[in-house]
Amino acid sequence: MKHTWRICLAALFLMAISLTGCNADGFTASQGQEIGQRAEVNYNGNQDKEEASLSQEQEPGNLSVTYLDVGQGNAILAESQGEFMLIDGGARETSSFVVSYLKKQGIEKLDYILISHFDEDHLAGAIGALHSFPVGTLITPDYTTDSSIYKSYREAVKEAGYQPLHPEIGDVFGLGSAEFRVISPVAYGHEDENQDSVGIILENGENKFYIGGDIGLQGEKEILGAGLDIQAEVCLMNHHGSHVSRDFFQAVNPSYAVISCGDGNSYGHPRQDTVELIESFHVPLFRTDKQGTITARSDGQRITFDQEPCNDYTPGEKNHNGQGNDNQREETEEVVSNATPDTCDFVLNIHTKKIHKPDCTYVSSIDQDNRAYFKGEKEELLEQGYTVCKGCLKE
């Protein structure tokens, strides 16, 4: 009789299992269902790593990545298992094209809009998409600016009632059978806002795509310094084919390179040293200025494109007769860049319109394409709308 109480307890335990639906792993049926549902929820960096791994274990499906021809700008549509993400949206003049393209694909909802940074040639078309489609998650960098296009963006967000999500490096999000991992910025606070671009590695099975916005040499250096894994088979070249370091390109180690830029743009993108670097590694090259819209497809094992690479490694030629923002920028650069690094009184960031002393610590982070050297009085620059760097100068 001394074991009777143990037998009774065992019977009660077995009865509890049958009533609650407890399985051999100790989870109730309702708990198991809840876990399955959570595994399908897009991981935003705040969920447990264990939940993210459940999503990663599923068999890879198909992923398409389309680099839209938006001239001197950037816009990418990614789709996996009926889920869609728009990364940037091009400039004002191509905004209607981007919205029209999305509608022709039968898209009724965007699961994500990811805005890498708030320059007009990336942001304008995304604003059009915000007005045209419901959006599941809006991802943006964590900074503000005073540009007119940014104010239009804020109005669109407020009107739709969205709360933008500012990711951190290492955050992972699900897109159908694919997922994307945030790899930049390592930290915010760059004077050149290009360096604050949200960059990602988009993964589908064994296939990876690198998309880094407009980061330059400083952003590349910080990513490499953080020891992040950025290897990818397809590399969208940073900043429309502007500067890229050999170390960074080797870290990505792509099998294919893509440049999104406009024909005859006033920046001269892609740069000669950049296309020469790509060619020296014998990497096949696709260019939207030469080939129009380009689509890559992944089945998790291999990547195919809808056309052959152009392998045109010639640099861009600056168009001094263009119109719009490119032409305005060219005129501004010619006016203010009247000296050399050795003879200038000030170093200018013509992108943010900031004035620096030549020895200012911020100068090293200014992309070469946005740097100008000025000899003259500071007041001349202030009259042109420039403002002084608070770190090295005072009004």
Residue 265 shares a structural domain with residue 336: no
Q: For residue 341, what are the domain limits? A: 325-388
Range 38-44 average pLDDT: 33
Q: Please give the pLDDT value at position 365.
A: 78
pLDDT tens digits along 242-255: 989 999 999 999 99
* pLDDT grade for 379, boundaries at 50, 70 and 90: confident
- The answer to whether position 17 is within a domain reads no
Who wins on pLDDT, 58 or 23? 58
Residue 257 shares a structural domain with residue 149: yes
User: Per 3-state DSSP, what percentage of the chain is helix, strand, and coil (rounded to 5)?
Assistant: 35, 20, 45
Range 65-73 average pLDDT: 98
Choice among 41-55, 93-107, 305-319 with the minimum mean pLDDT? 41-55
Q: Please give the pLDDT value at position 274.
A: 97
- The answer to whether position 22 is within a domain reads no
Q: Please give the pLDDT value at position 326.
A: 47
Angle at 87 between CA 85 and CA 93, to 5 degrees: 120
Separation of alpha carbons 158 and 144, rounded Å: 15
* CATH code at position 146: 3.60.15.10
Beta bridge partners of 180: 173, 202
Range 298-303 average pLDDT: 97
Separation of alpha carbons 153 and 150, rounded Å: 5
- The answer to whether position 266 is within a domain reads yes
Residue 39 pLDDT > 60: no
Residue 174 pLDDT > 90: yes
Q: Which of 276, 305, 334 is the last residue of a domain?
A: 305
Residue 105 shares a structural domain with residue 144: yes
**26, 29, 31, 35 alpha-carbon torsion, rounded to 10°:** 100
Residue 236 shares a structural domain with residue 129: yes
Element (H, E) at 173: strand 172-175
Q: Please give the pLDDT value at position 364.
A: 82
- The answer to whether position 317 is within a domain reads no
- The answer to whether position 234 is within a domain reads yes
* pLDDT grade for 324, boundaries at 50, 70 and 90: very low
State the total domains in the chain.
Answer: 2
- The answer to whether position 12 is within a domain reads no
Range 55-67 average pLDDT: 79
Separation of alpha carbons 8 and 14, rounded Å: 10
Residue 300 shares a structural domain with residue 371: no
Residue 93 shares a structural domain with residue 241: yes
Range 90-115 average pLDDT: 97
pLDDT tens digits along 348-373: 988 788 899 999 988 887 877 788 89
Average predicted confidence (pLDDT) for the chain: 84
Residue 298 shares a structural domain with residue 378: no
